[in-house]
Chain A
Amino acid sequence: MLEISGLRKVFPNGVVALDGVDLSVPAGEIVGVIGRSGTGKSTLIRCVNRLEEPTAGTITLDGADITRMGGAELRATRRRIGMIFQQFNLLTSRTAAENVALPLEIAGVGRAERGRRAHELLELVGLGDRGGSYPSQLSGGQKQRVGIARALASEPSLLLSDEATSALDAETTTSVLDLLRRINAELGLTVLLITHEMDVVRAACDRVALLDAGRVVEEGPLGEVVARPGSRLASGLLPSLGRVEVGGHEHAEEVVLFEDAEERLAAAIADGARIEARSTERIGERRVTRALVVTPKEVAV
């Protein structure tokens, strides 16, 4: 669906924000790009709808190269790409419904139809009764829902999200991410999201890419990445369970197990091992169990 290749962005002040990014976003998936601050995440996502001009490289959406588009073609493509922002970016002079209607106005949709669609979209994001409220009368989470409804207004096939939950508390973050997942499932929308929080990736993404100093250094489906030995993404997705004091004849080890975790742990216990701590969660399409296993020296899980 979206193919980014060899993407470079050098700012006029000489900063190389993107240094040859290759990334593909398969249709219907939620792809997360994670990385430290200043590593080029926002620049990357802003190049996709050309809020930032790429220096080199190509970005193709369903076969058409966005980097070569101009004028009307670019505007038409932007209408197929929704975007949500960290600071919501709602117009203060417009009500929630009028904000949602903005992309429809730009697309030349008539007034009655705009009103109807805006209301539908607000219902979809759970704000059916708040259409007449101004952004200043809404909470952060509600504002982001309006932002999402606006991004969906022109029925895009791709949604870009730049730190959409960074200004929200943990609970609101969860509900906004759930909404994104629901939209992804119900509308078949492809999502490219930027975040600096592994929790967001764990909760919302099918695939993840690690951006470091303007390059994608690791990438893959979540379920595959967690099983990758020595992976930076895996250690981020699976934070340590902690440490345990053991005697000289014992050996402590943190293990990551998948669908056969129960049998493997049961077998280890039968062999005389202790489980000091464990947790199981869904990561991507997999059930991942982490366990801190203490074994007599000769036993191995």
Chain B
Amino acid sequence: MNDGWSEWAPLLWTATRETLVMVGVAMLVTIPFGLLLGVLLLLTDRGGQLESRVANRVLGAIVNVGRSVPFIILLVAVIPLTRALVGTTIGTTAAIVPLALATIPFFARIVETALREVPNGLVEAALASGARRREVVSKVLVPEALPSLVSGVTITTIGVIGYSAMAGAVGGGGLGDVAIRYGYQRYETEVTIATVVVLVLLVQLLQFAGDRVSRRLSHS
């Protein structure tokens, strides 16, 4: 036991860092694209500032397709794209591409829902003051939805942690990779347990921090 621990503790540490990088970078890509897509989904919808039936249908379809493809299939399907973008198809960097692709549509829907909760009266108050469309987005919709958006980022990040474990299974590195290689393939159950504990802690910490930030931002 002692022997095992000294062997895989550094391994666990490296894997945790890999997971954090994968999740962190995937989220850094997801947040701007998801925001943009979510805003467009809202604005192109009926009664929106950029109302367009066609644009809304197309964006909606892209998002729905993105959300309905099982992650494990996406992981394989985007291999050519991954190679083109990051030059390799294995390892942590490569895993970021399918992770972000799977997460952007999910986060876009969360953004759309959060922005939809902003009372229309607030948008009208800004328009009545002479606001442009982008000012409506930047000064009303996003700031008013910020607490919900932060909660949405928390939920999405936790989801990405789960996906990143799957990415690990196909050579992406990180905690999932360690759990599979040591715990599953070599029957070292302690390793599996240890990775699960680390994952649980990560999720708890994220949820706690996310809730706190969201609450601090809310003045309603």
Contact = CB atoms under 8 A, between A and B. Distances in A.
A89 B121 contact: yes
B130 A78 contact: yes
A102 B143 contact: no
A91 B143 contact: yes
A9 B141 CA distance: 28
A85 interface: yes
Interface stretch (A103-111, A183-191, A200-208): A103-111
B134 to A, nearest CB: 11
A44 to B, nearest CB: 15
Nearest to B121: A89
A75 B119 CA distance: 21
Given A91-B122, A92-B219, A134-B219, A106 B143 contact: no
B220 interface: yes
A82 B126 CA distance: 11
B129 A102 contact: yes
Nearest to B220: A92
A103 B121 contact: no
Contacts of B128: 49, 51, 78, 81-83, 160
B127 interface: yes
A274 interface: no
A154 B130 contact: yes
A20 to B, nearest CB: 25
Contact of B126 (A93, A102, A160): A102
Given A134-B219, A136-B220, A51 B127 contact: yes
Interface in A83-100: 83, 85, 87, 89-94
Contacts of A181: none
Nearest to A95: B219
Interface in B151-172: none
Nearest to B219: A134
A91 B140 contact: yes
A160 B128 CA distance: 10
Interface in B104-158: 119, 121-122, 124-132, 135, 139-140, 143-144, 146
A93 B144 CA distance: 6
Interface in A267-296: none
Contacts of B217: 93
Interface string B177-220: 00000000000000000000000000000000000000001111
Nearest to B140: A91
Contacts of B218: 92
A89 B219 CA distance: 14
Given A102-B139, A106-B135, A136-B219, A89 B125 contact: yes
A76 interface: yes
A94 B144 CA distance: 9
A106 B144 contact: no
A106 B220 CA distance: 23
Nearest to A133: B219
Contacts of A154: 129-130
B120 to A, nearest CB: 9
B45 to A, nearest CB: 15
B140 A79 contact: no
A207 to B, nearest CB: 23
B212 to A, nearest CB: 17
B130 A75 contact: yes
A150 interface: yes
A162 B144 CA distance: 23
Which of A90, A106, A160 has its CB near the most chain B CB atoms (within 10 A)? Answer: A106
A89 B119 contact: yes
A103 B130 contact: yes
Nearest to B128: A83
List 6 tightest A-B contacts by C-beta distance, closest first: A103-B129, A89-B125, A92-B220, A79-B130, A89-B121, A134-B219
17 contacts: A78-B129, A79-B129, A79-B130, A81-B128, A83-B128, A85-B124, A89-B122, A91-B143, A91-B144, A93-B143, A93-B219, A102-B129, A103-B130, A106-B129, A106-B132, A135-B219, A153-B129
Given A75-B131, A102-B129, 13 more contacts: A51-B127, A78-B127, A79-B130, A83-B128, A85-B121, A85-B124, A87-B121, A89-B119, A89-B124, A92-B218, A92-B219, A93-B217, A150-B129
